[in-house]
Structures are given as structure tokens and as C-alpha cells.
Amino acid sequence: MNLLTQLCEAALFSAARPLTVEELATLDPEATLADVRTALDELREHYDFNQHGVELVELAGGYQILTRPVHAAAIERAQFSARAPRLTAAALETLAVIAYRQPVGRAEIEEIRGVSAGGVLRTLQERGLLEVVGRSEALGRPLLYGTTPLFLELLGLRDLTDLPKAEELTIALHPHRPEAQGPDDAEAYVPAES
Amino acid sequence: MTAPNAVPPTIALGAEPGFVVQLEAFSGPLDLLLHLLREEKIEIADIPIARICDQFLKAIHELGLNQAADYLEMASRLVRLKVQLLLPRNLDDDEWEDPRAELVRRLLEYQQIREIAQWMGSAVERRTERLARGYLPPPPDLPPLPLTLDLLGLLQAVDRVIAAIPIPVLHRVVARPLDVEGATRRIEALLEAHGEIGWLDALGPEPTIADLLSILLALLELARRGVLQLRQPAPFAPMVIARESAHPAV
């Protein structure tokens, strides 16, 4: 392993979240992004070839060292680590609507799910899975929600394109039908003032 | 989701205790509706509204009123649909639109969201099979270094402050009010040019006490607005004024 690979490994080991290639490149002023990618490839192969208990996983736009799934049960049995609490069906449905329609307002979420969404939205926001990404131009300028990098991390996705595509679903995706919502508030939004 | 009644629901509807449903198990009226349709193996596109409506009303009967609002809304929709379908219509009326169309669209849309939610649930499940390092709380901000101070250091600091004020006039009505706007422009121009400046640079040559105060107020105001950052690398070191860098993209 060359020095940059060692450096990347050390950084990924010490960080509590996935690190991006750009972030890793700051470890060494000489290193280019391509160097870092090569180093990451080397690290991944090293873990795989030598059958390490951990592997390098691409996640939420970055990289993280995670244990291999095969060891999860034993680690949990020994109570070295615990799983995060599960998400409720309501939380998952709300996240599903937002992941596909973001930026999206509360009214549209409630329309699709047929239930009020205030409590779930607040909980998800507190858990850092959602954030307010702007305000709709529609009447009352309602808040628009979007998913966060933590959402990708929780689902183990590299980015939103890892979500199933419309054609992979058994029920075909319906085209947007914005006429019930007045102006197409999926497009017309302005960023929230910071 | 439980429907412990193994008897065909059409018969169960006539029977006394009726349809027992655990409503906590449903995430909303659409979910309950889909469940009823599945129970009866009914195609979404061809819902027997009258029957489903009755079943739906029965099912929500058990529900506490405080939670029932969403379900009641759906119930009223169903009753309305039932009425609409009961009204006679001209058979060769081409304009006639199936009043169930909107409900069908919503059910299909909801079913799709359910499918995605299910996929996401198993994605979370797969992800939890891979453990990251144990949760590390973010490192606390380093406490400021304790002041190691002797009398000489204190006096020197006082000297430096006094030295920055060229004319130590203590009681004089300042004829000109403080020019905070001018000071703000001056600091912004300096930061534009240099990015990072020292406190003495901001002060300029031979500042009056009014200049000093103007600059100080302007600095505090700019720092409050988040335009710049004030740092003091060590106790008594000259203050460093830096432009607030843009938020790093995460």
C-alpha cells in the first residue's frame, strides 16, 4: 500500500461519516482526485483480496469503511453494536413521496398518502433525513421538503439515482398531474432565505 | 395486518361482530382501502363502490374519533361515490365519466408509493447489515486556553490598547457622529482586496477615537451578519479579521 492509500484508510477509519473524494484529496496537497480514486481502488481490492472483515463502500456521494454483512449477526449478538430503530410505515411512505417528488410540499404528500403528515415530517426532519429546501410560489408559500445526505446513508445509496426507476416498479409511474395543485409547484420554487 | 375473520367478508358483514380490523396496523385510509380490496380480490380498476363503502364504514367504526379524521374524509368520499353511481344515467351519454376514476388514480399512485416504501425499507435493512464504526459524538469545541497572566503582561496589553489611541482625550464631545457606514465600506473594501487583515490594518494610520469606535462597531456588526470572522489566535495577540468563507458543500 502506498502512502496515499494508507492516508485514505486512516482518514476513513477515523471519520464518523462517508468522506468524498474531494475531502480525501485535502489529506495530501500533492494528490489529485484521480490519485485518490486510484488509492481507494487499491484499498477496496486490498480488503477484498485479503478477505478483511470490513469493506470499502460507496455511500451518500462518498466512501466509508463498513463491516461485511455476514458478520452483522455475530456482532449484534455480542452487543458490540446495535441497529438503529426501524422506520415506521408512515415514515417510509413519506420519505418515498419526497424522494421521488422533491422539492415537494406538505399538501402534495398528504394528498398522495391520504393522511395528515405534520408529525411524521417533523420527526423525519429531527432525525436529519429531511430538510426544507425552499418555498413554493403557491398560495401561502408553503415549505418544500427534500431528502438529505443522511437519507442516502441510511438506505445505503450512492445517490438518488440508486432508487428504483419507474419501469422497475410493478405499478407504472403515473405522469404528474399538477392541475389539481394549481401552478406546477414542483418546478416553481425559490430557495429558502438562509 | 390482520383480518382474523376467515369467513368470506360478504357473509361476515351480515354477522354481528362484523369485520374486525386492527386500525393501528394501517398507515392511512388508502392503506385500509387497499387491504379491503385485496381481501376480496377485487381489481382496483373495477371497484364495487357500494360494497367497499359499507365495509370501509364498518372497519372505521372501531376507531377512536381523535384519529378518525383522515378515515372519515375517505368515508365521505366513498359515500358520495356510491350516491353518484346510484343516480340513473343515459346509457349513450359519451360525456359520462366514471366517478371512480379519481379514486382509482389515487389508489394506484398510493400503491406505487407503498411499493417504493417497501423497497426503501429493505434497503435500510440491507444497510444495517453493514456496521460503521461506533457512533462518535462530534468533538467538543476546544475550551479557550486558560489565561496565564502576570501583571507585566496585563500592563503591556493596556499599553498596546492605549498606544492605538493617538490622542488620549477622554472628555470631549465628538462633533462628528460615528461613521459606522463608512467604516463598514472600508472594511469590506479591505477584505475584498486582501481576504484577511489584521486589526491594525483595519484601523488605518492615525485613527481618532471616533474612527476606532466606528471600526469596532462595524466589525461587530459585520461579524454578526456573518460577513466576516474575528479571531484571536492567542490571548493578547492582535485580532485577525477574515472574510467568512462560503459554507463547505457536504
Domains and CATH numbers, chain A: 3-77 (1.10.10.10), 89-191 (1.10.10.10)
Smallest CA–CA distance, residue B173 to chain A, in Å, is 41
Q: Which domain holds residue B14?
A: 9-87+97-128
**Same-domain status, B185 and B80:** no
Per-residue pLDDT for chain A (194 aa), expressed as one digit of tens each?
788 898 899 988 888 788 998 888 888 888 888 989 999 999 999 998 888 888 999 888 889 998 888 888 887 777 776 666 778 888 899 999 999 888 888 888 888 888 888 888 988 988 889 989 888 888 888 889 999 988 988 888 888 888 887 666 665 444 443 333 333 444 433 444 43
Helix locations, A15-164, DSSP H: 21-25, 33-49, 72-77, 89-101, 106-113, 118-126, 149-155
The pLDDT of residue A63 is: 92
Q: Is residue B1 part of a domain?
A: no
Query: Which one has a higher pLDDT value, B165 or B123?
Result: B123
Over residues B33-52, the mean pLDDT reads: 80
State the Cα torsion B207-B208-B211-B213 to the nearest 10°: 120
Does residue B144 lie in a domain region?
Answer: no
Average of per-residue pLDDT across B177-206: 83
Q: Is B79 exposed, middle or buried (0-12, 13-18, 19+ CB in 10 A)?
A: middle
Instruction: Quickly state the pLDDT bin for B176 (edges 50, 70, 90).
Output: low
Q: Which pLDDT band, with edges at 50, 70 and 90, does B211 fall under?
A: confident
Task: Say whether both B103 and B33 belong to one domain.
Answer: yes
Helix axis angle, B180-194 relative to B209-225, nearest 10°? Answer: 70
pLDDT of B6 above 70:
no
B119 and B18 belong to one structural domain: yes
Q: For residue A82, is it left (φ>0), alpha (ψ between -120 and 50) or beta?
A: beta
pLDDT above 50: residue B81: yes
Domain membership of residue B135 (yes or no) is no
**Shared-domain flag, residues B176 and B69:** no
Residue B142's pLDDT is 64
Mutation for testing the A interface, residue in B32, B33, B127 having most A CBs under 10 Å: B127
B118 and B70 in a common domain: yes
In this structure, the answer to whether residues B120 and B160 fall within a common structural domain is no
Complex confidence, ipTM = 0.73
Complete DSSP assignment for B42-62: --GGG--HHHHHHHHHHHHHT
- Residue B155 shares a structural domain with residue B228: yes
User: What is the mean pLDDT of the segment spanning B111-136?
Assistant: 82
| B172: confidence class by pLDDT, cuts 50, 70, 90 | low
CA distance A136 to chain B (A): 22
B199 touches chain A (CB under 8 A): no
Task: Specify if B176 maps to a domain.
Answer: yes
d(CA B197, CA B202): 7
Cα separations in angstroms, B186 against A156, B190, B227, B229, B242: 50, 6, 14, 16, 14
CA distance linking residue B43 with residue B38, whole number of Å: 8
CB A57 within 8 A of CB A51: no
Is a pLDDT exceeding 50 seen at residue B96?
yes
* Grid-cell match 383522515, residue found: B70
Residues in B closer than 8 angstroms to A87, CB to CB, are 121, 124
pLDDT the model gives residue B153: 86
Question: Do B187 and B223 have their domain in common?
Answer: yes
Q: What is the pTM of this model?
A: 0.56
The residue ranking higher by pLDDT, A51 or B13, is: A51
Question: How far apart are the C-alpha atoms of B117 and A163, rounded to whole Å?
Answer: 11
Judge whether B107 lies within some domain. Answer: yes
**Domain assignment present for B103:** yes
Q: Are residues B16 and B110 in the same domain?
A: yes
Same domain, B120 and B14: yes
Contact by Cβ (8 Å): B203, B219: no
**Is the pLDDT higher at B219 or at B139?**
B219
Strand partners, B40: none
Note which residues in 9-38 of chain A have CB less than 8 A from chain B: 13, 16
B3 in a domain, yes or no?
Answer: no
Q: What is the mean pLDDT of chain B?
A: 75
Alpha-carbon distance B34 to nearest alpha carbon in chain A (angstroms): 12
B153-173 mean pLDDT: 80
Q: Do A173 and B112 touch (CB under 8 A)?
A: yes
Please check whether residues B182 and B121 belong to one and the same domain: no
Is residue B249's pLDDT more than 50?
no
pLDDT of B117 over the 80 cut: yes
Give the pLDDT confidence score for residue B191 in this predicted structure: 85
Question: Which pLDDT belongs to residue A40?
Answer: 92
Number of domains, chain B:
2
Q: Are residues B119 and B30 in the same domain?
A: yes
Q: Does residue B17 have a pLDDT over 50?
A: no
Interface of A with B in 99-118 (CB under 8 A): 99-100, 112-116
Which residues in chain B have their CB less than 8 angstroms from residue A71's CB? Answer: 131
Q: Is residue B26 part of a domain?
A: yes
Identify which of A67, A87, A113 has the shortest CB distance to residue B124: A87
